[in-house]
Amino acid sequence: MAAPLHIESPGADFTQDLGRTIGEHASAGDVFLLTGPLGSGKTCLTQGIALGLGVEGYVRSPTFVLMTRHQGRLTLHHVDLYRMGSPAEAWDLGLEEQLFSEGVCVIEWADRAPEIFPEDCLWIGLDYGQDPDRRDITLEPGVAVEESRFQGLLGLLTKKAATSEL
């Protein structure tokens, strides 16, 4: 597996802009698997992905409804596995339809059921940085970057993060 891409976000606006860039370059069938502690920015990043996909309206975490669908350039399937007790329980939600759809799938708390996802996903880990507003974001394709559908996106994000042009 290729080395992961590490990006330091100075705040929520940057995290959302990173998500917007991801959404603008997302393709049908892309699956983004988000991990990180409560409040680390998973939903903020997802809101940016939604903006990049042209979704109108507010996107909130589907913690209690488990799954929402938003229309944009591509359909955004937003899933939250926080309340799932096992991978089997997560699969019973009917994730297969979202994972293999013509839309884009964003799954928060994906680390609750890592074995149910296809190999060619983009794992995005968010964690707290050195001060309350900062976040450490790690992007890592599920397969070697040379084989990954995310190679172009990672190259673009690397360049933009280096110049802070998200």
Q: In which band, very low, low, confident or very high, does the pLDDT at 86 lie, cut at 50, 70 and 90?
A: confident
Cα–Cα–Cα angle for 32, 99, 29, rounded to 5 degrees: 70
3-state helix, strand, coil split of the chain in percent (to 5) is: 30, 25, 45
Residue 163 is assigned to a structural domain of this protein: no
CATH at 78:
3.40.50.300
Residue 84 is assigned to a structural domain of this protein: yes
pTM for the whole structure: 0.88
pLDDT of 155 over the 80 cut? yes
pLDDT of 137 over the 90 cut? yes
Residue 164 is assigned to a structural domain of this protein: no
Q: How many residues does the chain have?
A: 166
Listed residue (73, 78, 80, 28) closest to 51, CA to CA: 73
pLDDT of 2 over the 80 cut? no
User: What pLDDT is stored for residue 64 in this prediction?
Assistant: 60
Residue 17 is assigned to a structural domain of this protein: yes
Listed residue (137, 136, 97, 91) closest to 114, CA to CA: 91
**What is the tens place of the pLDDT at every residue in 97-132?**
767 778 999 999 999 999 888 888 999 999 999 999
Note down the domain range covering 146: 5-158
> In angstroms, rounded to a whole number, what is the distance separating the alpha carbons of residues 56 and 50?
8
Number of domains in the chain: 1
